[in-house]
Amino acid sequence: MPVDSRLPNFRSLAPAQRLEHLQQLLGLGAEDVALLRDAGALSLEVADGMIENVIGRFELPYAIASNFRINGRDVLIPLVVEEPSVVAAASFMAKLTRPAGGFLTSSSEPLMRAQVQIVGVSDPFNARLSLLRAKDEIIALANSKDQVLNKLGGGCRDVEVHTFADSPRGPMLVAHLIVDVRDAMGANTVNTMAETVAPLMERLTGGKVRLRILSNLADLRLARAQLRIAPEHLDTAEYSGAQVIEGVIDAYTFAAIDPYRAATHNKGIMNGIDPLVVATGNDWRAVEAGAHAYACRSGHYGSLTTWEKDSEGHLVGTLEMPMPLGLVGGATKTHPLAQLSLRILGVKTAQELAEIAVAVGLAQNLGALRALATEGIQRGHMALHARNIALSAGARGEEVDWLVKRMVETKDVRADRAETLLREKRGQ
């Protein structure tokens, strides 16, 4: 069912009103609404089955980012995050992309790597060729362990062999199984395949297999997003759109050449991606690991995004990075809210989910760069952070908005200031 992702005045509604609006927009059932409205969507029994030593559950805010149009389809983006400004920034940047059609995305096939480490090999170059000569046999053996994946069109596709002739532990081979995992994240599948082929590789090389494990540098499983914004859509009260574009490109260049800046720059990208990964029950640690390793692929840690100006003076941004997300297995099938998130997104494949994730990351990066290139990051961020300060000071109900307004007006957002203002108000 097509949806309108713009959600006008959504921020001004109370949480219950927002939920009612989404219920009507998405046709959510009573059970879905209850999952979002009531505490304890994840039962203690289910939580106890997911990980070890469970004693309770830990909740984070669950929000919806608006305005996203991706490949011609409006998408509502569920985000689970505690940091103020993330949802607002992503939603506003998505709004700016709409006049030019929103985000364009694409992705490669869902290929993951399983690594098999072989040590104790005296003739590593000869052993490498022995493995490659037996590639078909290795692939067939790996695929014998997952008939369901084969029926779905996935399975082991290729074998690579990397030679380390002079490691500190002597000659070493590392064989990579290249596996199409379809709509799974793929960890269990590729790990099982690696363990299955290990004895055969030992016989072929005369070496000893040590590690048999996937690589989180999923450099064959890439997702890509593009956006284009005309200068007039970047105008502010204090800066012309053309000035904003120059500032964004300068800020990006800083991240491209300096790893200290790049770390914060890329963290901002992950501010958008991680909350979506969490909301859908995927492994955000795996995505983070792959992202930062990919940022070093040239031998220098740099920006994951690129920002340029096209021949018409429009700002164009791109993001290409590993995105190993799944729709099946793990918490995506276990956690009720993860399942609901996938229904809200309306995705049918893991590749589509990955493409949405990088679009959110690109939007979030633009939000940070635009702020840095103009009034600075703190004005907007502190205005939103003021709500947290007000709540921590003990403000409740109408006191929260009053206290936020007072702190923002005086540009003094501090816990002690909030407490003083609140005491004065209550004293009156």
Smallest Cα–Cα separation from 74: which of 42, 102, 106, 44?
Answer: 102
Long-range contacts of 162-168 (CB under 8 A, 24+ apart): 163/124, 163/125, 163/128, 164/124, 165/124, 165/125
Which helix (H) or strand (E) covers residue 36, if one does? Answer: helix 30-37
Q: Write the DSSP string, 37-96.
A: HSS-SS-HHHHHHHSSS--------EEEEEEEEETTEEEEEEEE--STTHHHHHHHHHHH
Look up residue 50 and give its two tokens: 């997911």
Q: Find the catalytic residue in 95, 292, 381, 385.
A: 381
Q: Find the catalytic residue in 146, 283, 352, 355.
A: 283
Q: Find the catalytic residue in 21, 145, 267, 309.
A: 267
Look up residue 170 and give its two tokens: 């002597």
**How far is 297 from 292, CA to CA, in rounded Å?**
9
**How far is 163 from 387, CA to CA, in rounded Å?**
55
Q: Decide: 225 and 361 in contact? Cβ < 8 Å.
A: yes
Q: Decide: 19 and 308 in contact? Cβ < 8 Å.
A: no
CA distances to 96, 123, 197, 269, 281 from 75, in Å: 15, 55, 42, 19, 18
Smallest Cα–Cα separation from 305: which of 260, 363, 354?
Answer: 363
176 is catalytic: no
Look up residue 236 and give its two tokens: 């502010």
Q: Is 411 helix (H, G, I), strand (E, B) or coil?
A: coil
162 is catalytic: no
258 secondary structure, DSSP code: -
123 is catalytic: no
Q: Decide: 287 and 274 in contact? Cβ < 8 Å.
A: yes
Neighbour-count burial of 230, counting CB atoms closer than 10 A to its CB (0-12 exposed, 13-18 middle, 19+ buried):
middle
355 is catalytic: no
Q: Decide: 234 and 370 in contact? Cβ < 8 Å.
A: yes
Q: Which residues contact 45 (CB under 8 A, 6 or more apart)?
A: none
Q: How distant is the alpha carbon of residue 51 from its chain centre?
A: 22
Q: Find the catalytic residue in 83, 195, 375, 419.
A: 83
- Write out the catalytic residue numbers: 83, 267, 283, 381
